């Protein structure tokens, strides 16, 4: 079993970007957390972060037969990208949407997710811990337990 952990724009700056909202955890910390959870369950993790929307869409296309599922924090593209929504739908991979912050407690434009309807679930506002939850959920789903 192999999963993709994908991050969208500005998430390479985790740890220094708005720590009052996103905490001091770095992207490397998150990648290590997800790898820890997945490896303990016998799954491998591929990690990707990109600030280029087309790169993320290309990666979903290229990896659609390589990985079994995706943990995705699409950052701001969550709220803007019909193209990303269509890509998730097209590749037919199970995707769990993750946000560090509780987007529903923030500006109104963050309340709507364009990708939620094509994801198997959403974990929002649990900070770093949300990725562990999302990874367990995805693996449970892939193992047919959900």
Q: Is residue 100 a contact residue for ligand DQA (CB under 6 A)?
A: yes
Q: Is residue 76 a contact residue for ligand DQA (CB under 6 A)?
A: yes
Q: Candidates 31-39, 40-48, 68-76, 83-91 — which segment interacts with ligand DQA by CB under 6 A?
A: 68-76
Contacts of residue 106, Cβ cutoff 8 Å, sequence gap at least 6: 21
- DSSP letter for each residue of 119-136: SSEEEES-TTHHHHHHHH
Specify the DSSP element, H or E, that contains 69: strand 69-73
Contact 84, 18 (CB under 8 A): no
* Residue of 7, 22, 61, 141 marked active site: 22
Q: Is residue 113 a contact residue for ligand DQA (CB under 6 A)?
A: no
Q: Is residue 49 a contact residue for ligand DQA (CB under 6 A)?
A: no
Q: Is residue 101 a contact residue for ligand DQA (CB under 6 A)?
A: yes
Which of 49, 73, 81, 135 binds ligand DQA (CB under 6 A)? It is 73
- By CB under 6 A, what part of segment 2-21 binds ligand DQA? 10
Place of tokens 């434009």: 109
Whether 61 is a known active-site residue: answer: no
Nearest in space to 69 (alpha carbons), one of 23, 32, 38: 38
Q: Is residue 75 a contact residue for ligand DQA (CB under 6 A)?
A: yes
Whether 22 is a known active-site residue: answer: yes
Contacts of residue 62, Cβ cutoff 8 Å, sequence gap at least 6: none
């Amino acid at each position: 079993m192999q999963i993709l952990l994908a991050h969208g724009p500005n998430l390479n700056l985790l740890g220094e970007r708005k720590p009052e909202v996103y905490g001091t955890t770095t992207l490397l910390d998150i990648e290590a957390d997800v790898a820890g959870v997945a490896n303990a369950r016998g799954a491998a993790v591929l990690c990707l972060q990109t600030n280029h929307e087309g790169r993320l869409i290309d990666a979903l296309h290229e990896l659609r037969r390589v990985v079994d599922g995706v943990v995705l924090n699409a950052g701001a593209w969550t709220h803007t990208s019909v193209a990303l929504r269509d890509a998730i739908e097209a590749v037919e991979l199970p995707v769990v949407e993750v946000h560090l912050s509780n987007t529903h407690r923030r500006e109104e434009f963050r309340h709507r997710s364009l990708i939620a309807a094509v994801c198997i679930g959403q974990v929002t506002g649990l900070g770093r811990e949300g990725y562990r939850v999302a990874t367990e959920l995805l693996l449970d789903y892939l193992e047919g337990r959900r």
